[in-house]
């Protein structure tokens, strides 16, 4: 019963009008679609078919759904259908869509009467005549049996708003509606899960209106009254948002109850002060603000025994090129100056090696020891790295998932930095944080170059405080974006001419493809370019299966490769100031955020750069418009909102990645329900403070795997 009640309607049709129940996937009606609707019969005619193959008579009729008129026909026993399929009658109709003489046609129709046709002379029907005016035929007639008779079926279909349900193939919406009536009748009165006792958190309100009780919402979402389902939907959406927010609020409370080593004040001569004064550029205002925020979160509030503080848990978000890495490095130096170690977790070996090199160069001569640890390191190098880590010789450890392995032990881990947080789950973060002294929890800073819309930040990263970098360091060149239709040879030729011009000027280019093998893959494209339009240039290849990825990147940085053909292994963090051209082939296969990240691999030096998004789709296609939007702006936060709107809720919240999990989120929209999410966050915080045991009980069905799933989605 519980699962049936949680199968909420996905749409409604008001019984006073007409409309389609069938979800047509956003593409409009197409031949072959299964189609169910509320319709008004506008014309009927009995055709004499004698002398031809088939039945002697055919009942043809036209019906209206909204502004569209359809045709259909019933064969055999025509006289039995005529009283029900008559002009002015309102029916629920179901069948298969076809086209006949340029008009939509409903094939193999079935029906059930909702409102009989008016009498020819306008007289009022007697009760017996009224009941006799209702009929049903075909698969829709099963609702009569499911409901328990025609009178019960009419009761089911007499609600002001008729719902559309998700359903299995072979079942009709009317059948599901009838079954749901039985479920609702047997439901009883569900108890209210939110407390109303004195001192309890203030009752949730949305737009100044208190939420209705859960029992009323559960009934009203399935059987709305005349005012519609909105109040019921809002309460159900709030419950879904509250479940997510309680997970985050409990995690915040758990973190606040832990203890971490505080950082010491910045003093002249410290590693932090030395690096700030030695940087070849001035930190931006938002970088300085971020460092103050991070420092405040790690400094002791007052002097006390041991001067321990709650561990910082912070999300540092900033657009491509906003300077997150140097902020993270300076934050780590605060911890190193305080006598502890730091771990910097990167999603790929290419990025880990690049970060290790960058940090080592910036800290040259300071006495800070930087150690790299990756899965592909030779055994001797790995043993040496592990010894440096456990002995405390390594101040900053940069690595991949290899850092999380059981064989890695830190001497005194004081801070964890996670780069590109969406590549890691909360379990991996927590496992690394557990690699610290028993009585202390390391500070945590997770970074993302993919700007996160406010509703997603509240929902998916609600256990973290958020710090945002805006703008980018001075001295960066402009990046021009273009969508290149591959059907326009002159555009394509000009694009490759730009690559040649840039290489001749000492610059480099990326060509990103969606796959490694096969047509359009790394090997195929690299071969065709070297034999064709880019013949004579030094073309390299890079993808995730290669062993020496760092060597390839080193060759590109050193100028030994002119053009690098790669997969999205270069999507994040790769920093080659000489790279000025990014070409993305089959760009329609990439998401908005991916394209924005790929564009961020160029324009990292003083020279102007180009980003070409190549596609074979037509200009009127939604995917082309998406590419045009990416090309037209470098505002990552605007693109993040676009990305959210062009993805389904299942993509964001994880539903589409797991067919076996029970959906916790079915109605919540991260685009449309921002006010509900904000109120759920407020209420969750208050409820955890008021009754932690109740808060835990409300999300007891969300196990560790579910929490990991929410986090990783």
Q: What is the CA radius of gyration of the chain?
A: 32
Q: What is the pTM of this model?
A: 0.71
Q: Return d(Cα 609, Cα 602) in angstroms, integer.
A: 6
Tokens of 288: 């300085």
Tokens of 385: 């790295």
Q: Return d(Cα 325, Cα 573) in angstroms, integer.
A: 9
Tokens of 171: 């079942």
Q: Return d(Cα 533, Cα 539) in angstroms, integer.
A: 12
Q: Return d(Cα 451, Cα 541) in angstroms, integer.
A: 29
Q: Return d(Cα 539, Cα 562) in angstroms, integer.
A: 6
Dihedral, CA atoms, 260, 262, 263, 265, nearest 10 degrees? 170
The pLDDT value given to residue 76? 81
Strands (E), 354-411: 370-373, 396-399
Angle value at C-alpha 479, between 476 and 485, nearest 5 degrees: 165
The CATH number of the structural domain formed by 2-187 is: 2.40.50.140
Q: Return d(Cα 525, Cα 518) in angstroms, integer.
A: 9
SS3 for 481?
Answer: strand
**Fold adopted by 479-634:** Rossmann fold (3.40.50)
The pLDDT value given to residue 206? 96
Largest Cα span, the chain: 107
The pLDDT value given to residue 660? 36
Domain ranges of the chain: 2-187, 262-307+323-448, 479-634
Residue 315: beta bridge partners?
A: 446, 466
The domain at 262-307+323-448 falls in which architecture? 3-Layer(aba) Sandwich (3.40)
Q: Return d(Cα 314, Cα 468) in angstroms, integer.
A: 10
- Which position has the token pair 């949680």? 6
- 614 near 582, Cβ under 8 Å? no
The pLDDT value given to residue 428? 64
The pLDDT value given to residue 158? 77
Do the two domains 2-187 and 262-307+323-448 of this chain adopt the same fold?
no
Q: Return d(Cα 52, Cα 40) in angstroms, integer.
A: 30
Task: Determine which helix (DSSP H) or strand (DSSP E) holds 447, and give its type and residue range.
Answer: strand 443-448
Residues in the chain: 713
The pLDDT value given to residue 656? 42
Q: Which of 663, 623, 667, 662 has its CA nearest to residue 646? A: 623
Quote the DSSP letter at residue 539: E
Strands (E), 534-684: 539-542, 563-566, 579-584, 609-615
* Pairing outcome for strands 11-14 and 161-164: antiparallel
- Exposure b/e, 226-248, CB count within 10 A at least 16 = b: eeebebbbbbbbbbbbbbbbbbb
Identify the segments of the chain with pLDDT beneath 50.
Answer: 23-26, 304-305, 648-662, 712-713
Contacts of 232 (CB under 8 A, 6+ apart): 212, 216, 217, 218, 219, 220, 221, 224
Angle value at C-alpha 592, between 477 and 548, nearest 5 degrees: 70
Cβ neighbours of 119 (radius 10 Å): 12
- Exposure b/e, 355-378, CB count within 10 A at least 16 = b: bbbbbbebbeeeebbbbbbbeebe
């Amino acid at each position: 019963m519980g699962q049936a009640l949680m199968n909420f309607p996905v749409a409604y049709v008001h019984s006073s009008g007409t409309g389609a129940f069938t979800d047509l996937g956003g593409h409009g009606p197409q031949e072959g679609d299964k189609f169910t609707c509320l319709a008004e019969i506008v014309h009927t005619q009995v055709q004499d078919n004698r002398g031809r193959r088939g039945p002697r008579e055919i009942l043809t009729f036209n019906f209206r759904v909204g502004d569209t008129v359809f045709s259909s026909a019933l064969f055999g026993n025509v006289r039995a259908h005529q009283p029900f399929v008559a002009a002015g009658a309102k029916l629920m109709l179901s069948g298969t869509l076809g086209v006949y003489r340029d008009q939509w046609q409903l094939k193999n129709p079935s029906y059930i009467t909702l409102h009989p046709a008016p009498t020819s002379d306008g007289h009022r029907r007697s009760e017996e005549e009224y009941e006799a005016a209702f009929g049903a035929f075909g698969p829709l007639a099963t609702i009569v049996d499911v409901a328990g008779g025609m009178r019960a079926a009419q009761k089911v279909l007499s609600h002001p708003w008729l719902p559309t349900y998700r359903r299995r193939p072979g079942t009709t919406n009317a059948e599901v509606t009838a079954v749901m009536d039985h479920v609702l009748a047997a439901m009883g009165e569900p108890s209210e899960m939110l407390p109303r006792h004195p001192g309890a958190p203030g009752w949730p309100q949305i737009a100044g209106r208190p939420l209705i009780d859960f029992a009323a919402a559960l009934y009203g979402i399935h059987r709305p009254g005349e005012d519609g389902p909105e109040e019921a939907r809002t309460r159900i959406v709030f419950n879904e948002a509250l479940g997510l927010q309680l997970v985050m609020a409990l995690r915040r409370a758990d973190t606040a109850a832990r203890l971490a080593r505080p950082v010491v004040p910045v003093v002249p001569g410290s590693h932090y002060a030395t690096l700030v004064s030695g940087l070849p550029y001035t930190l931006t205002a938002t970088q300085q603000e971020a460092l103050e925020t991070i420092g405040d979160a790690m400094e002791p509030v007052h002097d006390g025994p041991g001067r321990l503080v709650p561990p910082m848990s912070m999300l540092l978000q900033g657009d491509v090129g906003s300077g997150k890495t140097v902020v993270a490095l300076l934050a780590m130096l605060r911890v190193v100056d305080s006598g502890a170690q730091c771990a910097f977790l990167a999603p790929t070996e290419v990025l880990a090696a690049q970060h290790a090199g960058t940090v080592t160069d910036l800290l040259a001569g300071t006495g800070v020891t930087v150690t790299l640890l990756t899965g592909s390191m030779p055994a001797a190098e790995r043993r040496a790295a592990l010894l440096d880590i456990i002995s405390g010789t390594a101040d900053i450890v940069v690595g991949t998932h290899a850092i999380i392995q059981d064989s890695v032990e830190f001497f005194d881990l004081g801070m964890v930095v996670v780069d590109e947080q969406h590549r890691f789950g909360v379990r991996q973060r927590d496992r690394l944080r557990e690699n610290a002294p028993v009585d202390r929890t390391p500070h945590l800073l997770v970074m993302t170059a993919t700007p996160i819309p406010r509703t997603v930040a509240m929902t998916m990263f609600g256990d973290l405080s958020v710090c945002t970098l805006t703008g980018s360091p001075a001295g960066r060149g402009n990046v021009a974006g273009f969508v290149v239709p591959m059907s326009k040879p002159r555009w394509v030729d000009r694009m490759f001419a730009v690559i040649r011009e840039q290489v001749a000027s000492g610059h480099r280019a990326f060509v990103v493809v969606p796959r490694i093998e096969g047509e359009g893959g790394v090997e195929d494209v690299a071969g065709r370019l070297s034999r064709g339009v880019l013949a004579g240039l030094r073309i390299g290849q890079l993808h995730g299966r290669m062993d020496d990825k760092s060597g390839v990147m080193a060759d590109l940085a050193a100028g030994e490769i002119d053009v690098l053909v790669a997969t999205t292994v270069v999507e994040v963090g790769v920093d080659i100031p000489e790279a000025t051209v990014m070409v993305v082939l089959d760009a329609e296969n990439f998401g908005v955020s991916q394209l924005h990240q790929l564009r961020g691999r160029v324009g990292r030096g003083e020279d102007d750069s180009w980003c070409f998004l190549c596609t074979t789709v037509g200009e009127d296609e939604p995917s082309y418009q998406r590419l045009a939007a990416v090309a037209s702006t470098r505002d990552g936060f605007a693109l993040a909102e676009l990305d959210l709107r062009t993805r389904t809720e299942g993509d964001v919240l994880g539903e589409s990645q797991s067919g076996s999990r029970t959906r916790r989120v079915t109605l919540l929209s991260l685009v449309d329900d921002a006010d509900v999410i904000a109120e759920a966050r407020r209420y969750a915080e208050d409820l955890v403070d008021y009754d932690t045991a109740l808060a835990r009980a409300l999300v007891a069905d969300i196990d560790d795997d579910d929490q990991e799933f929410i986090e990783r989605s």
